[in-house]
A and B are shown apart, each in its own frame.
Chain A
């Protein structure tokens, strides 16, 4: 799995600079409103700053203390903004290069698009193009917008989006008719019908997505925001009412300490990192060269129950290949291999080449010098091919055709020959008979070779709880054989587009979420119906429009990575939420005794961390609360590691690390900060 868009390191200086500036810009309350927890923190910071100013002016109170509290509350907000800015910054560089390619494009709009051969055109800005316009793109031109090739064939450099420098062929009709705006025609010409409005093209969407400008909260993110807002309200109630309860207990709490208590209790850690987690997840996806049209689709990928995969090209290499040679009695495997090697030397088909490769690799045969012998080419009438060499007539081909060449009936053939033929057919393979003159030599087993490692990937998917379904046009016997070899859970044989659609609908009615990938126009309905539809960049425009993700590498097994990224985003959010809430226990033990120890020295018993003074305890809790956001930025950007070990084991591990760890870590952290605060003499 290649990862062409190199993921920048977490704290790349080129990103940090602008991120620091952005963190300040994001202080604008209108922007912060989107994040209730941090918004509340900013309001509280303002309040404490005002209090500090008042104390400075009147000289009443402890301005040095409230000033420090105010400063750290601002840092808390800034750190949260910074996390988001860093996450956004990582995608911006890529967006910039895409934007440069998009500006100042001109289009040759055809005046008479319906006339073949008529090339009369006017040059207009690409931004003035309308859906349905037909443009001419010639060698050296940049394609002005997304569209469908209606005439011509050309090689196109799509490296601007895919990062792949080898040009690809685009032609009218078939599955290679879609072109993307911003890519360059290298040779020949194309007539392209524009299919998207300016500003809504693939590249535009990609830029918007990378920049996070159009980022909408995903459903799970919204639900989590509600939980966090609810918790914020709960602690707001707890802190505001504490003022009254404290008055009863003979303590008049200052706004600064109440503010400190509030901000440390509300889930600022997850609140501050929430959007960074989502942006970083999308960024990781782009790192895998997959572009999603929405974050919602990525999250849905994490929930996928069933994965529909095309057999050809995904599970198998797509061509039948020789896997073994089965000789008849009296012929050694070596002799058979020698014969088929000679017979296939001139055979340029994929099957022929695979026979040569097998003979060379498994039987150690050397390729004889070319030119000797007379090759017999395959013809539709004879359905056999071979070679006449040194007086030998070696032939290979379909079993009945070779038997006819030999001049015998199937019943007259040796028993082990017939047995081998039947066995190969039953296992889903294709038998090729081999003969020399009047003698049968044996059978070549041609089969769909399952890609190495694919079985392990499906096992991993099964461990994630995802069922894999292989879709193939093969007959059920062949399909079953390949399905069992590849280790898929189910298969759909002799599949038509309607059957695919039906299968998806049936699974969805059972409440399952379906992912599939496809490239052809006939895949479009199924891609649209699936909850996660991954279209191949090499596919048709219809397929790309129907899916909600596009894989720039056109590698169907990438769905597995997509699923993992979807799960990672959720896991990171959940783990940091748990961590954030678990932290509150230690903060109580730091702040509550500090608030009341002057009135009731006996409450010092709760100061189990042995913090130096009430003021340093409160300040340390606030500082820890701010610093932990920065400390967790790398984790938020990288994501909590997903392991396909089953939900229960995963939960146990994450609860242990982030739940128990979340309770313990701040006890240590606050103590360390307290030691530092007193060593520096901040209090």
Chain B
């Protein structure tokens, strides 16, 4: 580890913290329907959408109506994307002449992009036409992210309103998130990416003759625009198979900084917007502090494990100064690879700029564990915030009891109904991750996809289902997931991880919005101080991580101790 490395890590995170506040304030205005500097341009377009869809922007929905909107919109999204992928061969903008996508892969991909997971069982440049990329995947990159933001805003409203039913209008929130937040940001970031050298073209792949005289096909396409929303919407689905490790997707150190920054900024902005909406900016900082501490510790752990290197390599005479460079890009270096890996997994982005499978066992454990914590660091756009609210509910419940008062979060009492729903939401991850992993680890169809034996193979399975259920989408590599078994089960894990979580969360919002706000007193335990931050971190680690310890022990931990004993897989 070097100070230069830590300085880079610090500067990127600082930049996010600086921008999160104005962005959060801007979002709070947008979702309150107040005017912003973009309103003169966007307001007419927004109204046009409502008129076209026959939506009355003034009519708000209760939690059931809101949930119905989310589910209907997403279900139709899955159907449309599935149809589009299957019919790719006869649709336009297909210069490479790709055929229709097979059913299991089309289902997996549709589920993946609608759930904001962006798990890719395929190689983008050899499977998807430009039309599929732009009209199919990119559309979902926008609206799945906007859906997450909308739900986060609805949950925020539940804390400010007293004795109410309505938590907002899903169609309005969805439109505003896309139009006012994601689209302008994506345009700016796409232009910056173009300036940094990312290709942006509708041309087919280019042919080239190498120095040895061999001919090579170089894939191209509208990459800068894809990359922008991939990061901003915490999607992570790359244009290329190797994602942001590819020199076209991520050509240099600056594009790497901008990539990490764009991943974090909107999700952190949503946290700040939450604080602004509920009337406690300190609350937002407290939540972000918990996020920041866990992210920095995670980054530090990867950084340490990777610069420490693999003792077997060192014994073979590899230069110890570099650490473990297998699967990493020299142009990013250890520090920025560690930060990318921690952020992309803490955040439910899932793009990678190095192959996580090639990390040292402990270095690989961290991204896996960060995803298992429930994708709240700061998580996917919107989804991270509502995930964090669930953890905060559990934290105040335990804390509230310990100070002898019925627990409350931001003045809303946390009672049996909220606990029931929060626990339902918490159960999804272990059920989907451990359930499918245990099945895949014993049946031939599951074992067939493994590239490595032993604990590393188990890590591959565990990583795949963790990534899917947590809606992250990053791959450990090594696992051949493009098979009917993996495509189907991973698709189901993604759908469960997204929608089986959203429904209880919106139900919590529906329950909280009805409650009277309780004024704070000296007996109320403050949720915006360091004590709460510490408690929240503890709850995230215990509720999010404790149940995965046995699985991790058999995967990366076992691999680590075996590596120390000189055994590799």
Q: Tell yes or no: B7 within 8 A of A by CB.
A: no
B interface, CB within 8 angstroms of A: 162, 394, 397-406, 411, 414-416, 418-420, 423-424, 426-427, 430-431, 434-435, 437-439, 441-442, 447, 455, 457-458, 516-519, 521-526, 529, 531, 534-535, 538, 542, 546-551, 553-554, 557-558, 561-562, 564-565
Q: When the two chains form their complex, are residues A241 and B437 in contact, meaning their CB atoms are under 8 A apart?
A: yes
State how many residues of chain A have any CB contact under 8 Å with chain B.
74
Query: Which of A235, A238, A581, A602 is in CB contact (< 8 Å) with B564?
Result: A602
- For residue A570, which residues in chain B have a CB less than 8 angstroms away from its CB? 400-401, 404-406
How far apart sit A20 and B89, CA to CA, in the bound complex (Å)? 76
Query: Which of B415, B547, B551 is in CB contact (< 8 Å) with A234?
Result: B547
How far apart sit A226 and B531, CA to CA, in the bound complex (Å)? 25
Q: When the two chains form their complex, are residues B398 and A578 in contact, meaning their CB atoms are under 8 A apart?
A: yes
Q: Are A244 and B442 CB-contacts (below 8 A) given A571-B404, A647-B525?
A: yes
Q: When the two chains form their complex, are residues B519 and A592 in contact, meaning their CB atoms are under 8 A apart?
A: no
How far apart sit A241 and B535, CA to CA, in the bound complex (Å)? 29
Q: When the two chains form their complex, are residues A243 and B517 in contact, meaning their CB atoms are under 8 A apart?
A: no
25 A-B contacts (beta carbon < 8 Å)? A222-B416, A223-B397, A224-B401, A226-B423, A230-B426, A237-B430, A244-B442, A245-B438, A248-B458, A249-B455, A261-B550, A302-B404, A302-B406, A305-B519, A464-B522, A511-B517, A573-B401, A574-B401, A596-B553, A596-B558, A642-B404, A646-B523, A651-B402, A655-B531, A655-B534
Interface-central residue, B401, B519, B550, by most chain A CB under 10 Å: B401
Q: Tell yes or no: A219 within 8 A of B by CB.
A: yes
Query: Which of B394, B427, B531, B549 is in CB contact (< 8 Å) with A588?
Result: B549
- For residue A248, which residues in chain B have a CB less than 8 angstroms away from its CB? 441-442, 447, 457-458, 554
Q: Tell yes or no: A648 within 8 A of B by CB.
A: yes
How far apart sit A77 and B403, CA to CA, in the bound complex (Å)? 29
Q: When the two chains form their complex, are residues B404 and A567 in contact, meaning their CB atoms are under 8 A apart?
A: yes
Q: Tell yes or no: A654 within 8 A of B by CB.
A: yes
Q: When the two chains form their complex, are residues A600 and B558 in contact, meaning their CB atoms are under 8 A apart?
A: yes
How far apart sit A229 and B442, CA to CA, in the bound complex (Å)? 29
Query: Which of B414, B518, B548, B558 is in CB contact (< 8 Å) with A602?
Result: B558
Q: When the two chains form their complex, are residues A305 and B521 in contact, meaning their CB atoms are under 8 A apart?
A: yes
How far apart sit A302 and B398, CA to CA, in the bound complex (Å)? 15
- For residue A651, which residues in chain B have a CB less than 8 angstroms away from its CB? 399, 402-403, 525, 531, 535
Q: When the two chains form their complex, are residues B547 and A512 in contact, meaning their CB atoms are under 8 A apart?
A: no
Q: When the two chains form their complex, are residues B557 and A511 in contact, meaning their CB atoms are under 8 A apart?
A: no
Per-residue contact bits, chain A 218-253, to B (CB 8 Å; 1 contact, 0 not) = 011011101101110111011111111111110000
Q: When the two chains form their complex, are residues A512 and B518 in contact, meaning their CB atoms are under 8 A apart?
A: yes
How far apart sit A527 and B416, CA to CA, in the bound complex (Å)? 27
Q: Are A465 and B523 CB-contacts (below 8 A) given A244-B442, A511-B518?
A: yes
- For residue A584, which residues in chain B have a CB less than 8 angstroms away from its CB? 542, 546
Q: When the two chains form their complex, are residues A303 and B562 in contact, meaning their CB atoms are under 8 A apart?
A: no
- For residue B557, which residues in chain A have a CB less than 8 angstroms away from its CB? 603, 606
| A-B pairs, 10 with minimum CB distance | A574-B401, A465-B523, A567-B404, A244-B438, A230-B423, A465-B522, A465-B521, A241-B438, A248-B441, A574-B402
- For residue A573, which residues in chain B have a CB less than 8 angstroms away from its CB? 401
- For residue B519, which residues in chain A have a CB less than 8 angstroms away from its CB? 305, 510-512
- Shortest Cβ distance from A593 into B: residue: B553
Q: When the two chains form their complex, are residues B404 and A233 in contact, meaning their CB atoms are under 8 A apart?
A: no
Besides the contacts A574-B401, A577-B398, A606-B557, what 8 more A-B pairs have beta carbons closer than 8 Å?
A224-B401, A227-B397, A227-B423, A242-B551, A570-B406, A574-B398, A574-B400, A652-B531
Q: Tell yes or no: A463 within 8 A of B by CB.
A: yes
Q: When the two chains form their complex, are residues B394 and A227 in contact, meaning their CB atoms are under 8 A apart?
A: yes
Q: When the two chains form their complex, are residues A238 and B550 in contact, meaning their CB atoms are under 8 A apart?
A: yes
Question: Interface of chain A, helix or strand or loop or mixed?
Answer: helix
Q: Tell yes or no: A605 within 8 A of B by CB.
A: yes
Question: Shortest distance in angstroms between B244's beta carbon and chain A's nearest beta carbon?
Answer: 31
Question: Shortest distance in angstroms between B298's beta carbon and chain A's nearest beta carbon?
Answer: 19
- For residue B565, which residues in chain A have a CB less than 8 angstroms away from its CB? 602
Q: Which of A577-628 contact B (CB under 8 A)?
A: 577-578, 581-582, 584-585, 588, 592, 596, 600, 602-603, 605-606
- For residue A574, which residues in chain B have a CB less than 8 angstroms away from its CB? 398-404
Question: Shortest distance in angstroms between B501's beta carbon and chain A's nearest beta carbon?
Answer: 14
How far apart sit A205 and B553, CA to CA, in the bound complex (Å)? 54
Query: Which of A226, A241, A249 is in CB contact (< 8 Å) with B419?
Result: A226
Q: When the two chains form their complex, are residues A238 and B397 in contact, meaning their CB atoms are under 8 A apart?
A: no
- Shortest Cβ distance from B439 into A: residue: A244
Q: Tell yes or no: A299 within 8 A of B by CB.
A: yes
How far apart sit A95 and B424, CA to CA, in the bound complex (Å)? 41
Q: Are A223 and B415 CB-contacts (below 8 A) given A249-B455, A577-B398?
A: yes
Question: Shortest distance in angstroms between A577's beta carbon and chain B's nearest beta carbon?
Answer: 6
Q: Tell yes or no: A462 within 8 A of B by CB.
A: yes
Query: Which of B402, B404, B522, B546 is in CB contact (< 8 Å) with A462?
Result: B522
- For residue A85, which residues in chain B have a CB less than 8 angstroms away from its CB? none
- For residue A582, which residues in chain B have a CB less than 8 angstroms away from its CB? 542
- Shortest Cβ distance from A585 into B: residue: B546
Per-residue contact bits, chain A 561-574, to B (CB 8 Å; 1 contact, 0 not) = 00000111111011
Q: Are A605 and B561 CB-contacts (below 8 A) given A226-B423, A465-B523, A648-B525?
A: yes
- For residue A658, which residues in chain B have a CB less than 8 angstroms away from its CB? 402
Q: Tell yes or no: A120 within 8 A of B by CB.
A: no
- For residue A303, which residues in chain B have a CB less than 8 angstroms away from its CB? 405-406
Q: Tell yes or no: A516 within 8 A of B by CB.
A: no
Q: When the two chains form their complex, are residues A659 and B538 in contact, meaning their CB atoms are under 8 A apart?
A: yes
Q: Tell yes or no: A343 within 8 A of B by CB.
A: no
- For residue A315, which residues in chain B have a CB less than 8 angstroms away from its CB? none
Q: Tell yes or no: A466 within 8 A of B by CB.
A: yes
- For residue B415, which residues in chain A have a CB less than 8 angstroms away from its CB? 219-220, 223
Question: Shortest distance in angstroms between A435's beta carbon and chain B's nearest beta carbon?
Answer: 51
- Shortest Cβ distance from B411 into A: residue: A511
Q: When the two chains form their complex, are residues B551 and A245 in contact, meaning their CB atoms are under 8 A apart?
A: yes
Query: Which of A237, A596, A606 is in CB contact (< 8 Å) with B431?
Result: A237
How far apart sit A596 and B516, CA to CA, in the bound complex (Å)? 52
Q: When the two chains form their complex, are residues B405 and A647 in contact, meaning their CB atoms are under 8 A apart?
A: yes
- For residue A366, which residues in chain B have a CB less than 8 angstroms away from its CB? none
- Shortest Cβ distance from A604 into B: residue: B561
Q: Tell yes or no: A650 within 8 A of B by CB.
A: yes
- For residue A647, which residues in chain B have a CB less than 8 angstroms away from its CB? 403, 405, 522-526
How far apart sit A642 and B523, CA to CA, in the bound complex (Å)? 12
Q: Tell yes or no: A575 within 8 A of B by CB.
A: yes
Q: When the two chains form their complex, are residues A246 and B554 in contact, meaning their CB atoms are under 8 A apart?
A: yes
How far apart sit A299 and B415, CA to CA, in the bound complex (Å)? 13
Q: When the two chains form their complex, are residues B558 and A244 in contact, meaning their CB atoms are under 8 A apart?
A: no
Q: When the two chains form their complex, are residues B423 and A229 in contact, meaning their CB atoms are under 8 A apart?
A: yes
